[in-house]
Chain A
């Protein structure tokens, strides 16, 4: 009885070892980088926020203005949207921040709202901070204005 059990266990262990080995062979990755070894790549850098604190000119009409200041730790959670503590149109005169555009105060049926629409809640979907990073791919884009 004990012998049979040992045999079954051994067989199972053998089967797992064999299939596992086969799988490992199949999953050999073919890296996109080809034969370039990793140490020859460029080291990463620490990029800094643009903190110029002045509005950055837009590149084309309807361009969402980009953020000229550090936003580290500014919470946009289900509890609070910290951007609106300065950029809400009621707060902007006191804080000197660029007030949020009028379009953001309309719901999808065009009704006026007391504060921004929930559709606009996640500011960073369109408005993004800037870093001192060079573009990875060169661009020939010229501003329209």
Chain B
């Protein structure tokens, strides 16, 4: 059924007339509201208050982090939980969020709902996070600490020496900077009796 339209109506595609112009405008607006709402709710889950709304995070890792430089420092610039643990880019962020559904399962199962249970899993949880950071070249560190813009003359003697060697060997932040925001899991250092459940650091 083809009808010839005249005046300004000629410039509107035929499918709009088939669907109905008010439906098209309405669906477009609904799309904006839906996407905005989805994004708003999604970003609410990327905030520190959301992370520590569960006691597993608040009583273990958050308490440890409160003593570190990423929580409190001279200038008040902070790195909150999601700054390090949720990628900023859309694709990796969605992937990480889908993986996080497993964390919801373990929240329901109570896998780490006491300090003792958390301590028993600390090595495994740390290994996962180290592996993730190693795989993306410590992207979440480099969102702020971009080594292409580091002025070595402003760094301490130890930092200059270590950084210049490490970067030339293709190492990434997490290779050395483990346990900067949280307590480390057991690491085998051959001091005293062998430790149970040691974390693999390489």
Contacts and interface: CB of A to CB of B under 8 A. Distances in A.
Interface in B111-162: 156-158, 161-162
B189 A80 contact: yes
A73 B189 contact: no
Interface stretch (B23-31, B39-47, B77-85, B179-187): B179-187
A51 interface: yes
B190 interface: yes
Contacts, number: 53
| A contact patch SS | loop
Interface residues of A, number: 25
A116 B191 contact: yes
A96 B183 contact: no
A59 B67 CA distance: 33
Contact of A51 (B156, B183, B185): B156
A96 B160 CA distance: 12
Contact of A77 (B69, B184, B190): B184
A2 B186 CA distance: 64
Interface of A: 51, 53-54, 69, 72-73, 75, 77-82, 84, 88, 95-97, 113-118, 121
Interface of B: 67-69, 156-158, 161-162, 179-180, 183-187, 189-192, 195
